Amino acid sequence: MKRELLKNVKVMPYTPETAIDREGFFSAILAASVTAGTTAKVSVTHCDTESGSYEEVTDTQLVLGPDEVSFTATALVNFDLDLSACKRYIEIKVTGPTTATYAVALGDPACMPV
């Protein structure tokens, strides 16, 4: 079990609205460390090419759980994303927090191990 996890995910620091090549991965987790007194809302755009024109993902099953969370204390939150309806390149947008730290973990690889 431990080896399957280690060989089947790709984790990277993330700056919102930066293109991610998700080829071969069908899900992702956006982890955000958010300060108290803010609300974070996540949305995703996608495109066939890295430098093309990105459009909003309209799949209602994209975010598994709430796409907006309010914080009364500094917290670490995960937004679980189902990317199966997305094109090859995605950009994740987070509105709300002025200061936050992000990381993305891509999972559900089409070919195992990664």
Per residue in 83-105, pLDDT tens?
A: 999 999 999 999 988 888 999 99
Give the DSSP letter string of the chain. Answer: -HHHHHHS-EEEEE-TT--EE-TTEEEEEEEEEE-TT-EEEEEEEEESSTTS--EE---TTSBSS-SEEE-SS-EEEEEEEE-TTS-SEEEEEEES-SSEEEEEEEEEESSS--
Per residue in 7-39, pLDDT tens?
A: 788 999 999 999 999 999 999 999 999 888 889
pTM check: above 0.85: yes
Domains of the chain: 2-109 (2.60.120)
Per residue in 61-87, pLDDT tens?
A: 999 999 999 988 888 989 999 999 999
Lookup: tokens for 44: 């995703």
